[in-house]
Amino acid sequence: MSFSAAERASPLLRASGLVAGYGPLQVLWDVDLEIGNAECVILLGPNGAGKTTLLKALLGLVALWRGRIEFRGQRLEGQRTDQRVRQGIAYMSEVGVFPNLSIEENLKLGGYYLPRREVQRRAQELYVMFPDLVQRRGVLAGSLSGGQRKMLSLAKAFMSGPRLLVMDEPSAGLSPRYVKEVIATLRQLHGAGLAMLIAEQNLGFLELAGRACILEGGRIRFAGDRTALEQDDILRRSYFGLQETPDAGRD
């Protein structure tokens, strides 16, 4: 992936002072978030911390009360979800796929707004990355297992040729084996220059991330390098349990 000089200078996504909520309930309190080009940021935090709300606010599913979002130098606040997606943000929800449509139709929808030639080129790459999905293209997505569905929704997100892949709990409902497979696939995509924002509780995803943000009670409690997070005693205790090193016990 190549970047223009301006894109290299400024971050891919910069959100500042985000305030949002549902009805009278305020969920996000002045949240700042930056994602660089080809950077992977993991968003940690307990249930109810506002992770999903933050992602939804970025995608335009929750109205912002205040704050600004810039993506590749463009302001996003006034745009509809589909317009934001067309700027290069792919969102992988927990649902992820259309169960009553076939694998092939799901993939086509992934590349819905791309020119046909680009879709064909991407379909070729997909063949290499997700061979078993492509082989079973006529099957309804609803008949796939949870893990296969997750891979399909990844493939679908990849079809749109995004600059930033936003994911809400990619590990949800997956067996440890599939979590590893998802992580391996994400590492491949990240290696190819795709920036990511992953909201997760599963610390296995931490190894992908260059940077981590911790959201608590709708406020950013920590933002910094992964290594800094791993060395911070208090955070380590609350997020990694009482382990000596965060790596122990994994794998």
Applying CB under 8 A, the residues found at the interface with other proteins are: 59, 61, 80-82, 85-86, 90-91, 93, 95-96, 98-101, 105, 108-110, 112-113, 156, 160
Burial of 5 (0-12, 13-18, 19+ CB in 10 A): exposed
Measured from the CB atom, the residue of 78 and 242 that comes closer to other proteins is 78
What distance in Å separates the CA atoms of residue 34 and residue 183, rounded to the nearest whole number? 22
Measured from the CB atom, the residue of 107 and 220 that comes closer to other proteins is 107
Measured from the CB atom, the residue of 56 and 211 that comes closer to other proteins is 56
| Strands, E assignment, the chain | 13-22, 25-35, 40-44, 64-71, 74-75, 89-92, 164-168, 195-199, 211-216, 219-225
User: Side-chain half-sphere of 51: how many Cα atoms within 13 Å?
Assistant: 23
Measured from the CB atom, the residue of 109 and 129 that comes closer to other proteins is 109
Rounded least distance, CB 86 to other proteins, Å: 5
Rounded least distance, CB 180 to other proteins, Å: 25
CA 62 from centre of chain: 17
Rounded least distance, CB 157 to other proteins, Å: 9
Measured from the CB atom, the residue of 10 and 93 that comes closer to other proteins is 93
Rounded least distance, CB 149 to other proteins, Å: 12
91 three-class SS: strand
Q: b vs e for 130-156, b when ≥16 Cβ sit within 10 Å of the residue's Cβ?
A: beebbeeeeeebeebeebbbbbbbbbb
Quick check: 163 and 12 in contact, CB under 8 A? yes
Measured from the CB atom, the residue of 58 and 229 that comes closer to other proteins is 58
Measured from the CB atom, the residue of 21 and 110 that comes closer to other proteins is 110
User: Side-chain half-sphere of 41: how many Cα atoms within 13 Å?
Assistant: 23
Rounded least distance, CB 36 to other proteins, Å: 23
Rounded least distance, CB 38 to other proteins, Å: 22
- Measure Cα distances from 133 to 52, 101, 137 in Å: 28, 14, 6
Rounded least distance, CB 144 to other proteins, Å: 15
- Angle, CA 180 vertex, CA 219 and CA 207 arms, to 5°: 45
